[in-house]
Structure 1
Amino acid sequence: MSWEIFNIIGTIAFALSGAIIASEEDYDLIGYYALGFITAFGGGALRNLLIGAPGTTLWSQGTLFLISFLIITLIYVLPLQNLTKRKHWELTFGLLDAIGLAAFAIQGALFAKELNLPSSAIITSALLTGVGGGIIRDALAKRQPFVFKYDLYAFWTIMTGIIISFRDTTNKWELYILFILIVSLRMFSLKYGWHIPRPKKTSNTLNTNSRT
């Protein structure tokens, strides 16, 4: 039951984020549905392919598809042209994305654990479920995917998978605390610029690049 709750939370948050990016890119209605559905369900589809879950698992989520459809339609109908110009827009979108990231990372890890898969599969499932849909969304919108930046975006999903693989997941309150923790850490990493150090380019590398 716990993983279903996180599945609902993640689906709502990512369907919203996909539709809002479609609004920013001035897409038509088909573009809204494409980005919204792909963001909400793309990560789970990639996960299922990798861990060998039945393909019917995705198509059996009729209620979630309906919820996503209604949310995406609502975003399309609402006058959001000036939304991205508002003062705290980036923070709002960051929070929305953090909620989806944390919820889907937990849901993905729990899904793999219910199948009695090893820790490596649980961690991979958390990673793919958390970031897979966003990668496809950003690629379609011709944006640099968050996961390829250096602000620890994917790191939190990996940490989630590690924690769940070694913990008793029958206590739902521990999962809720983990959810709040991951959302908070993601927001702190955005606010304070936490990141994985990038390798420094040497002068030889720079000279080589300049000659090419």
Structure 2
Amino acid sequence: MLHILFLIAITAEAMTAALAAGRRSMDWVGVCLLGCVTALGGGSARDVLLGHYPLTWVEHPYYLAITAGAALATIFLPKIMRHLHQLFLLLDAVGLVVFTVIGCNVAMQLGLPTGVVIVSGMITGCVGGVLRDVLCNEIPLLFRRELYASVSVITGCLYIAGLYLGYPHLLVTIGAMLVGLALRLLALRFEWNMPKFVYAEEKTADPGDR
């Protein structure tokens, strides 16, 4: 189940990244690169940080073919993509919770502490989008608005807690992902945001103004 959802999620992530590339007037190579980085970047960053080799797309090269192909296909489907905005928001939310659980599993297989397991899930779920925004010269969505990383953390915590309490693995997996998905969709529907820190330098009075 996770593997099928993973394939759907990386396809959707690659296609939405292709649209971001199009808004920046990137060439076809840029479209493919951005699609692959967005879809697979979170898992790659996790594996590098945890020393988990080979990287996912190195072990399974067809992931690159899927993401690059999906990104290229988007070039010929821009009008259709406009009508599928809500669907891709749903698939992005699915990808977030699926990537989170997969990231947690990788860290647990390495026998890492609980805190690292949760962070591993968050990196897997969120870093691809951060890399996309950085390459598009934008402040990452993760740092600007909406509940995103926090949804990943909550999903990871529920997943780890359920396993720790001894509940069946399948039940814990489905339950954690459903809660995370519902929270993400509610955040989109009601525009729930994290508190923002706004700092502005106070203008120093000019002695000549006295």
TM-score, normalised on structure 1? Answer: 0.82
Residue matched to 1:192: 190
- Give 3-state SS (helix, strand or coil) of 2:162's partner: coil
Question: Separation in 2 of the partners of 1:209 and 1:35?
Answer: 44
- Report if aligned partners of 1:113, 1:165 keep a CA contact under 8 Å in 2: no
2:179 partner amino acid: L
Equivalent positions of 1:46-195 (< 5 A) are: 46-78=45-77, 80=78, 83-84=81-82, 89=85, 91-168=86-163, 171-195=169-193
Alignment RMSD, CA only? 2.6
**1:53 is paired with a residue of what secondary structure?**
coil
How far apart are the structure 1 equivalents of 2:20 and 2:107? 30
> One-letter code of the match for 1:38?
V
Shift of residue 82, structure 1, vs aligned partner: 7.7
Residue 44 of structure 2 corresponds to 45
- Give, in angstroms, the shift of residue 207 of structure 1: 2.2
In 2: Cα distance, 1:104 partner to 1:121 partner: 15
3-state SS, counterpart of residue 10 of structure 1 = helix
1:103-123 Cα shifts (integer Å, max 9, x gaps): 211111122122222111111
Seen in structure 2, the aligned counterparts of structure 1 residues 192 and 31 have a Cα distance that, compared at 3 Å, is: same
Asked whether the 8 Å contact 1:46–1:128 carries over to 2, the reply is: yes
**Structure 2: distance between partners of 1:152 and 1:176:** 20
Cα gap change, 1:73 to 1:175, in 2 (>3 Å): same
For 1:166 and 1:64, locate their aligned partners in 2 and report how far apart those are by CA, in whole Å.
Answer: 31
Tell me the amino acid that sits aligned with residue 73 of structure 1.
L
Q: CA deviation at 1:158?
A: 1.0
Runs of 5+ unmatched residues, structure 2? none
How many angstroms apart in 2 are the aligned matches of 1:180 and 1:166? 15
Structure-2-length-normalised TM-score: 0.83
- Give the unaligned 5+ runs of structure 1: none
Larger RCO: 1 or 2 (CA < 8 Å, sep 6+): 1
Aligned to 2:3: 4
Once the two structures are superposed, residues 122-168 of structure 1 have per-residue CA deviations (whole angstroms, 9 ceiling, x without a partner) of 11111110111110101111222111024221101111221222222
Q: Percent identity?
A: 27
Are 1:51 and 1:121, in contact at CA under 8 Å, matched by a contact in 2? no
Amino acid at match of 2:91: L
Cα distance in 1 for residues equivalent to 2:183 and 2:89: 12
Aligned equivalents of 2:205 and 2:12: distance in 1? 43
